[in-house]
Amino acid sequence: MQVIRVIIADDLPETRVNVRRMLELAEGFAVVGEAGDGREAVASTRDTMPDCVLMDINMPVMDGIQAAEIITSRFPEVAVVMMSVQGEHEYLRRAMTAGARDYLVKPFTTDELANTVRKACLSLHRRQENHPGAKEDKAEVVAVMGPKGGVGRTTVAVNLALAFTAAGEQSYLLDLNLQFGDAAMSLDVVPGRNLAHLVFDGQPPDLAAVEEILEAHKSGVHLLAGPDRPEEAELIDVSLVDQVLRLMQVMCRRLVVDMPNRMEEMLLPVLDRHPVCVMVITPELATVRNAGQAIRLLRDLEYDIDRLKLVLNRYSPQAPINQATIERNLGLPVFAVIPDDPKAMRTAGTRGEPVVVGQPDSPSGKALAQLAAALLGQEAPAGTAEAAEKSRPRLGLLRREAKLVTS
């Protein structure tokens, strides 16, 4: 039987002790946190993500009704059960309106407590199954990968995160190129802490731990950087990456993952999130060959290839392989084309200012902004080489927002 994880929120310590003892006597419960007021209850819920919060109505600082409203809004997968004394029926009505799943009138028995919590969790689970839109609003994962190094994968990942955020979709960036990641350099930030510090802390990560190691960029993007030293990459395993992904998905609207160069086991926890995979390729024989191998691997892993978006980077009419040949060899259409724009890219690298923000009117800045808009479903991508060379994409609000970020 699956253990139900519970937080007890009551301003009276003796009540918390008694409720904890009752849950310990009942089978299938684990108390993962306690809170003495509503604000603590919200913070504990954020940090531990329980199945249920047992919430007293009358508490100092923030009462149980307000806390229940915040928890059910921010964490809709958490069931809230209110606790009250006789004569608080109006409060109970308000609590149920705020999103509580059930209530208990003090004093209650162990059986009443256990049955009510189980029923509340089961009711919430069934509602979410029947109404998928009511499930936790997790961030969509956009995994940016490259079949080999040097194709511009990090450049695309960083610019997408910035463009998503400029378009109103709060985005976080996770650098999973654990040995030689340079997303921080692309953003011109020097993180004080990084992914390796979750290992050094020696505790399973929670939301508070992840928030502590995020580096905020002036654009609004938050970066979780990879280790400072290549040897620290060995400390980070698949289990940790899986936990970090789970936590980051409830912190933002879009989670952009800068993937490793090699198709390795770190790919698995990312694919478990059913991401949109953006595969960055360049018009070179070795890159196209490796891309074919990567696509075969994704098929073997039963990834939905319809969610794979090929992005042809650094394209020009003088490229050694044209777009049609690439599409024929890979058996997939090119989703978007980013023109070869060495001057803008050199300037971006020197300034530490990605092109969608620093040079939004450059050819590459336009194409990357249009790619982001296409992934958001706002407009069609520059899906042909001719479009990348000749068209002037209509960026509208996205471009104006990008300029505002720099001001």
pLDDT value of residue 134: 40
Question: Distance of alpha carbon 167 from its chain centroid, rounded?
Answer: 17
**Residue spans per domain, the chain:** 4-134, 140-406
pLDDT at 250: 86
The pLDDT of 104-119, averaged and rounded, is 92
The Cα 32–Cα 41 span in angstroms is: 12
- Where would I find the H helices in 334-392? 342-351, 355-358, 363-375, 385-390
- In this structure, of 17-21, 114-118, 260-264, 392-396, the range with the lowest mean pLDDT score is 392-396
Higher pLDDT pick, 56 / 127: 56
- Of 264, 120, 250, which is closest to residue 179 (Cα–Cα)? 264
Residue found under tokens 């692309």 = 186
pLDDT of 135 higher than 50: no
pLDDT at position 108 is 92
CATH code at 4-134: 3.40.50.2300
Domains 4-134 and 140-406 share a fold: yes
Mean pLDDT of 49-56: 94
Q: How far apart are CA 229 and CA 304, in angstroms?
A: 35
Confidence of residue 100 (pLDDT cuts 50, 70, 90): confident
> Out of 9-23, 33-47, 238-252, which region has the weakest mean confidence (pLDDT)?
238-252
First to last CA, the chain: 55
Mean pLDDT of all residues in 98-112 = 87
Asked if pLDDT for residue 374 goes beyond 80, the answer is yes
Q: Are 63 and 38 a contacting pair, CB within 8 Å?
A: yes
HSE, CB side, 13 Å, CA atoms: give it for residue 56. 25
Q: What is the token pair recorded at 117?
A: 């919590």
The half-sphere exposure of 184 on its side-chain side, counting CA atoms within 13 A, is: 22
Place of tokens 């654990």: 178
Q: Is the pLDDT of residue 149 over 50?
A: yes
Residue type, position 204, single letter: P
Instruction: Please return the burial class of 256, using the count of CB atoms within 10 Å of its CB with bins 0-12, 13-18 and 19+.
Output: buried
Section 305-311 average pLDDT: 96
Question: Angle at the Cα of 184 (from 179 to 190), degrees rounded to 5?
Answer: 105
Kind plus residue range of the DSSP H or E element containing 111: helix 110-130
Find the mean pLDDT for residues 207-225.
90
Task: Name the CATH topology of 140-406.
Answer: Rossmann fold (3.40.50)
pLDDT at 384 over 60: no
Give the residue from 95, 89, 27 showing the smallest Cα distance to 67: 95
| Mean pLDDT confidence for 256-281 | 88
**pLDDT value, residue 395:** 39
Supply the pTM of this predicted model.
0.64
Residue 178 pLDDT: 87
Please state, rounded to an integer, the average pLDDT across all residues of the chain: 86
**What is d(CA 55, CA 63) in angstroms, rounded to the nearest whole number?**
9
Which tokens is 388 given?
Answer: 């990348």
pLDDT at res. 170 = 87
**The residue to which tokens 């990605």 are assigned:** 354
pLDDT band for 31, please (50, 70, 90 cuts).
Answer: very high
